[in-house]
Amino acid sequence: MKRILISGAGIAGPVLGYWLNKAGFQVTIIEIEKDLRTGGQNIDITDAGRDVLKLMGIEGAVRDNFTGEKGLRFVDHRGKVKAEFPKDSEISFTRDLEILRGDLVKILFDFTKDDISYKFGCEVIRLNHEENQVNVTFNDNSSDSYDCFIAADGMGSSSRKLIFGNDMKMKYLGIWTSYFTVERTDYDDDWAKWYNAPDGVVVLLRPDNKASMRASVNYLSDNSEYQPLSVDEKREKLVNVLSNKGWECDRLVQSLKKKMTSIWVR
């Protein structure tokens, strides 16, 4: 039986693993983290993605985890609705299948874990190709050989560098973006709400299926230097960006100050 090694237990890795296993390959998936990475906000599944779910027989499981979003409303600084795009309208921002990335990752893992061997806390640190096989060394210094090694380890893939020798190139587009989770309040309903705040700040609040709201704050900045910030530094940056900006911004500031949220800024 041909042996395939895939790096990355996100979305692409388990889906590919499923199909390769079905085609008769023996599949191992390695994940660099100690556990599944279930972070993230909405992913909308459309077109080919939906066809793949159907063919795998898991469209129902994904639908059961729908975030419940009814559509998108643009609001002004007082929360007055200025425009509305319901889920089923032609140019809707909310798609038919909206799911939190973490829920999708869990569904795919549960669906494949009996047929695929998963190894967590594991990455390839060295690799060399031979005529008909690839030899890999893992981070615990053990080694093995496979018929094929496939990198499915996301946008910041380190396997890409091992395979092709070149690193990912980033182009700064003048915007910083952040994602965090806040408590649901009486103000919230099942509509996503988009607010264009002064000074090039865009704030988005979206419902999830966990009784919380997913916030996203995007802002223009000339500072193109991406520095890995500590969680407290991220919080401080966002508090400065959001203070006195109208709509629900002060609520988001209070929520950030309570330090209850996990934050991701890039």
Ligand X SMILES: Cc1cc2nc3c(=O)[nH]c(=O)nc-3n(C[C@H](O)[C@H](O)[C@H](O)COP(=O)(O)OP(=O)(O)OC[C@H]3O[C@@H](n4cnc5c(N)ncnc54)[C@H](O)[C@@H]3O)c2cc1C
> Which positions touch ligand X (CB under 6 A)?
7-13, 30-33, 37, 39-43, 101, 123, 152-155, 157-159
Task: Report the C-alpha gap between 236 and 239 in whole angstroms.
Answer: 5
CB closer to ligand X, 136 vs 198: 136
The structure tokens listed for 108 are 């795919």
CB closer to ligand X, 12 vs 201: 12
Of all residues in the shown chain, the one whose CB is closest to ligand X is 10
**Half-sphere CA count of 62, side-chain side, radius 13 A:** 28
CB closer to ligand X, 153 vs 248: 153
Radius of gyration (C-alpha) of the chain in whole angstroms: 21
CB of 154 to ligand X, least distance (A): 3
CB closer to ligand X, 33 vs 233: 33
Phi-psi map region of 99: left, alpha, beta (phi>0 left; psi -120 to 50 alpha): beta
CB of 250 to ligand X, least distance (A): 25
CB of 262 to ligand X, least distance (A): 10
CB of 153 to ligand X, least distance (A): 3
Smallest Cα–Cα separation from 29: which of 44, 47, 43, 15? 15
Task: Report the C-alpha gap between 239 and 77 in whole angstroms.
Answer: 17
